[in-house]
Amino acid sequence: MESNAGTWHGRAPGRVNLIGEHVDYLGGVVLPAAVNRHTEVTGRPSAEWAVESRVKGGVAYLRAIGEELGVQPQGVRVRSEIPSGSGLSSSAALLVAVASGLKPEMDGREAALACQRAEQRATGVQVGVMDQFASALGRRGHALLLDCGTLEYRMVPFPDELDIAVIDSGEHRSLARTPYNQRRREAEAGQPNRRRHVDSEIARVHAFVDALERDDFTRLGNLLKESHRSLRDDFEVSTPHVDALVEKAWAAKGCFGARIMGAGFGGSILALIERGSEAALKAAVEQPVIVCSTADGAFARANEGGRAA
Ligand code: GLA
């Protein structure tokens, strides 16, 4: 007899990071947003169901989050609108979706931390908590200002006039094959260029929030450009191909600014554009572009509010 007992569902969004790159694992402030591309998971405690996932390395992630939560998520089906390698954190969305399905009563912060540990365990990459936190606790209409040192956060309204565009550079990489851990160690050791990026980037996050609160889009764009230069020259996580695309985006009509997003070493580019100027951006960069808007995180409703950052 068919029984639905024990069947669970989870759903979580991908994320963008507006600004605050390579500072989360140093306890800095970051400004990501959950976005309207989701991963959905369904699971049944039946060994007959195989894991079906197109998220790269999906099985390792499922095993790792199961170990973190003390549950074995057997028989899991994964459906995702988030292309792997798109820069929208498909892996964080998968982990948070599973956590929200298996332990919906969990505190969003605890869930984000469990998902961060699972990601580290599955990949060996010492990632920070930003991606999982945004997927768990982002809010529609808002960016999430997160202090990664204290895990205090607050929502910052995101203007309707802006679209968030994510450009695929076409240079794909698995984080485990990049010098991510090395950059982290260099920054932790206080290597001067790395440190200069971290300090200036944290200052830019605060300036960006200020500009958002004033609807000063030109300033937002200039901060993205400064962030890119810092990631390129001081943190050295860009590539010549990405630099060229970023400069094409800067020149596109309706584009306020753009920068390499996420871990870097290829990957994706974030651009903030005037609503309706997607075609001009696509024509300028000649690469696939995903235009997205802000969304609720998987644990957002259950964890209403947030504490002041
Ligand atoms: C990846 C990691 C995050 C963060 C960014 C860089 O996305 O998962 O924790 O460190 O890189 O800002």
List the 289-292 sheet strands across, edge first: 255-261, 268-274, 162-168, 289-292
DSSP notation for 155-175: EEE--TTEEEEEEE-S----G
Our mutation pick for probing the ligand 1 site, out of 26, 82, 127, counting the most ligand atoms within 8 A of Cβ, is 127
Q: In degrees rounded to 5, what are phi and psi of residue 171?
A: -95, 100
- Domains observed in the chain: 8-157 (3.30.230.10), 162-292 (3.30.70.890)
Span 295-301, mean pLDDT?
Answer: 94
Q: Whose CA is nearest to atom 8 of ligand 1?
A: 127
234 is catalytic: no
Q: Whose CA is nearest to atom 2 of ligand 1?
A: 127
Q: In degrees rounded to 5, what are phi and psi of residue 166?
A: -120, 120
Reported as a single tens digit per residue, the pLDDT across 13-23 is 999 999 999 99
pLDDT above 80: residue 52: no
| pTM of the predicted model as reported, rounded to 2 decimal places | 0.94
Q: Whose CA is nearest to atom 1 of ligand 1?
A: 263
Helix (H) / strand (E) containing 197:
helix 192-213
Neighbour count for residue 84 (Cβ, 10 Å): 17
Task: Measure the CA–CA gap between 39 and 62, rounded to whole angstroms.
Answer: 13
Reported as a single tens digit per residue, the pLDDT across 54-75 is 666 688 899 999 999 998 877 8
Reported as a single tens digit per residue, the pLDDT across 191-237 is 999 999 999 999 999 999 999 999 999 999 999 999 999 999 999 99
